[in-house]
Every structure is written in C-alpha cells, then in structure tokens.
C-alpha cells in the first residue's frame, strides 16, 4: 500500500499531474513539557474540503500551522492558496507559498530545514510571523520504482530544532526534538483501499522510533517500524505491534490510546497523553513512550520519551455532511469563507473577539 523510499523529480512530476494526487512536507517540533509546533505545506492536501473533486495536486496548495502548549492546542491555521501563489520544488519542498518560504539543505550526512512564515489571521489586522528551524542526520533511502502508488519518505528522525511565533504582543517559543518527512501519491487518499492508518514518532535519549501501521479494507495489515540514532544510523525493523484501549471521540473516530511494540531484545510502550486535534476522519495526539532493553536482567535499562502521533480514517475523508464544518477551519486566502472561520482558526485567546468582528462586518455589508 505504502512504500518507504525516496522519489526523484521526473517521477514526482508524473505522479502529481494526476487528478487526485497529493504531496506534503511535514515538520514537527516538541519538548518534554508538551509544547509543540507542527507545520505542513502541501500540494493537493487530501484533508481539504472538496478533495473528492479530483484535481492535480498543484492546483490546491495549502499550509497548516499548529501550536500546542502543555498538551493544549492554542493556534490552528489551515490556509488554502491559489495555484499561482505556490512555487515549490516537487521533491524537496523548497520554495515559496504566498509570503511563506521553505528551505531544506543537505551537507554531507546532515539535513537542515527552515521555514519563514507570514500569515494573515482571519479578522485580525496583525500578521502572524513564525520561524522554525531544525537540524538532524539525513535518512539514507533507496529510490522508488514507478510501481508504488503512495511513497513515504522520512528525511530526518533524530533532529533538534527551535520555533518562534509572534502575533502582536503574543510570543511563543519552543525548543526540542524535531522530525521531518514527506508523502507523495498519485492516487486519492480516500481511494487507496486503506481503512485506517496509525503513525507516530517518539524521541528517546538514544534514538527516535517511528511506526506506521496500515489496515486495508479487507483486514490485511502493513506495519513498518524504523528508527534513527544521533549518529545517523537508520534501522528498518520487523517488530510486533499491538494496539489497545480503543476510545471513540465525539465525532465517532475510534482509535487506540496504547501501543506495545516488541522485538527479541527491546520493547516499547507508547501511550496517548493529550488529544490535540479531533475530527471525523483525523486525530492528532501528544504521546509518551517507554523503551526497555530485554537483555540480561542486570543490564536491562528503561528510557522514557515523548512524541506525536496521528490516526486517520481515509474512507471518511470529505464526506458531504462534513464539508461545512471543515470549511469553518479552512481559510481560502483571498476568497469568501465561512462566517465562523475566526472561531476555529488563529490563536484561541481572541477567537470570540474576531468572530464578533466577522459577524458585524457581515451584518453591515
């Protein structure tokens, strides 16, 4: 279903010219206190409203910025731009999206990522500025063949970074572990025969562990566990995964809150600490982890970590009843938007004030 590999430019261009195709570049940063920043820049993001109306990826560029403090979401901005506002390299993600700029650089076996963002917050006269930087060892991956329909390319797992967000008098800063990857697909996500997927990354003292678990509509599963250490060593391992403690959200998504991963010499316990994004087809969490070596009793060690995880139900994406609600959380830059957009986007502390401004302008228009 999903191949872990690198993709080259000509193949990416071929994939992304297909209706329903998509690519995204995902960067996250968090610390042990539960503060975090997530940035996703994309072409054809499948979570946008109307994604079932299939178009080539380049026609729908978008950007997501999310900030979480102590496990509580404080900022959400998901903005869709016009096709002419994007100038992005299809492989690296380097380039611009509106007034936002992205750059990845490889030097020997090290990767650095930087994002410089300038975004207008709905019904606010103040521009939001953000700077995010991360550096870590690059991941050596084989190049894909053209047989794969969906490619996952982790770029650095054991990275460190810093983010600073300013909006008027509001200033937020986070330093901590970082992770960067990209996905490319020539097929719509809702049409990939995937019933559910679970992804997560957990940073420990000596390694970052990443798991990817996919269940097909017929019940078959595909699981991947990879890890990277500070010196860049990258492992792709076959380990047993067992999910448990399923819970249903108010939107009906039923997802596990606990994961045990076991090998012959190591085990991991990963548990949800905070639900930071919730919807009918998507959930994002803060998670904690525990790593135990399974050697001789006198050499056994326990290492505690933390990270971010996701749960996706692709077949539920962009159902017709959802679209009005998803539009309340998605801004189409320069176009008409939901009157309730300010209530669900921007910083949480001034959402009611900005909503009142939106309602007044609508009444006096």
The residues pairing with 136 across neighbouring beta strands, listed in sequence order, are: 111
123 vs 158: CA distance, rounded Å: 38
Pairing of strands 36-43, 61-69: antiparallel
Query: Among residues 356, 338, 15, 301, which one has the least CA distance to residue 182?
Result: 15
- Residue 322: phi and psi, rounded to 5, are -80, -30
Is residue 338 included in any domain, yes or no? no
The residues pairing with 132 across neighbouring beta strands, listed in sequence order, are: 115, 163
Neighbour count for residue 321 (Cβ, 10 Å)? 7
Query: Among residues 283, 112, 314, which one has the least CA distance to residue 200?
Result: 283
- Please give the model's pTM, rounded to 2 decimal places: 0.95
Is residue 290 included in any domain, yes or no? yes
**Extended beta strands in 70-123, E state:** 72-80, 86-88, 95-97, 100-107, 110-120
Is residue 99 included in any domain, yes or no? yes
Is residue 333 included in any domain, yes or no? no
Is residue 355 included in any domain, yes or no? no
Neighbour count for residue 178 (Cβ, 10 Å)? 29
Q: Would you state the pLDDT for residue 301?
A: 75
236 vs 346: CA distance, rounded Å: 38
- For the chain, the domain total comes to 1
Is residue 245 included in any domain, yes or no? yes
Is residue 16 included in any domain, yes or no? yes
Is residue 223 included in any domain, yes or no? yes
What number of helices (H) and strands (E) belong to the chain? 4, 23
Structural domain span for residue 267: 3-316
Residue 332 has, within 13 A of its CA and on its CB side, a CA count of 14
Helices (H), 77-231: none
Q: Percent helix, strand, coil in the chain (nearest 5)?
A: 15, 55, 30
Q: Please, what is the Cα angle at 188 between 184 and 192, to 5 degrees?
A: 95
Q: Would you state the pLDDT for residue 298?
A: 47
Query: Among residues 253, 237, 292, which one has the least CA distance to residue 270?
Result: 292
Q: Which helix (H) or strand (E) holds 223?
A: strand 221-228
- What are the structure tokens assigned to 33, written together? 């206190």
Per-residue tens of pLDDT for the chain, all 365 residues: 788 999 889 989 999 999 999 999 999 999 999 999 999 999 999 999 999 999 999 999 999 999 999 999 999 999 999 999 999 999 999 999 999 999 999 998 999 999 999 999 999 999 999 999 999 999 999 888 767 789 999 999 999 999 999 999 999 999 999 999 999 999 999 999 999 999 999 999 999 999 999 999 888 888 999 999 999 999 998 899 999 999 988 888 889 999 999 998 899 999 999 999 999 999 999 999 999 987 655 456 789 999 999 999 999 999 999 999 999 999 999 999 999 999 999 999 999 999 999 898 878 86
Query: Among residues 141, 302, 317, which one has the least CA distance to residue 224?
Result: 141
């Amino acid at each position: 279903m999903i191949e872990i590999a690198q993709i080259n430019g000509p193949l990416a261009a071929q994939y992304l010219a297909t209706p329903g195709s998509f690519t995204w570049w995902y960067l996250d940063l968090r610390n042990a206190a539960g503060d975090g920043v997530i940035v996703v820049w994309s072409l054809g993001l499948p979570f946008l409203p109307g994604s079932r109306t299939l178009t080539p990826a380049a026609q729908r560029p978008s950007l997501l910025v999310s900030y979480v403090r102590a496990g509580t979401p404080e900022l959400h901005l998901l903005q869709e731009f016009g096709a002419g506002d994007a100038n992005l390299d299809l492989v690296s993600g380097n380039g611009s999206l509106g007034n936002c700029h992205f750059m990845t650089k490889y030097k020997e076996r090290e990767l650095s990522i930087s994002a410089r963002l300038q975004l207008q917050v709905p019904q606010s006269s103040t521009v939001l500025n953000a700077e995010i930087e991360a550096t870590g060892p690059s991941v050596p991956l084989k190049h894909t063949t053209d047989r794969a329909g969906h490619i996952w390319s982790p770029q650095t797992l054991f990275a460190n970074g810093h983010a600073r967000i300013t909006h008027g008098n509001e200033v937020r800063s986070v330093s901590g572990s970082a992770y960067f990857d990209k996905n490319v697909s020539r097929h719509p996500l809702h049409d990939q025969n995937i019933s559910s997927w679970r992804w997560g990354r957990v940073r420990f003292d000596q390694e970052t562990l990443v798991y990817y678990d996919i269940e097909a509509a017929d019940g078959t599963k595909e699981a991947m566990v990879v890890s990277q250490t500070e010196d860049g060593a990258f492992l792709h391992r076959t380990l047993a995964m067992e999910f448990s403690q399923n819970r249903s959200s108010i939107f009906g998504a039923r997802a596990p809150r606990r994961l045990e991963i076991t090998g012959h010499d190591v085990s991991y316990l990963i548990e949800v600490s905070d639900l930071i994004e919730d919807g009918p087809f998507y959930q994002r969490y803060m998670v904690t982890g525990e790593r135990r070596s399974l050697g001789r009793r006198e050499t056994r060690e326990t290492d505690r970590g933390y990270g971010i995880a996701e749960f996706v139900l692709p077949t539920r994406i962009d159902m017709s009843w959802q679209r009005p609600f998803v539009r309340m959380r998605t801004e189409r830059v320069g176009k008409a938007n939901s009157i309730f957009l300010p209530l669900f986007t921007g910083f949480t502390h001034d959402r009611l004030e900005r909503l009142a401004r939106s309602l007044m302008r609508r009444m006096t228009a």
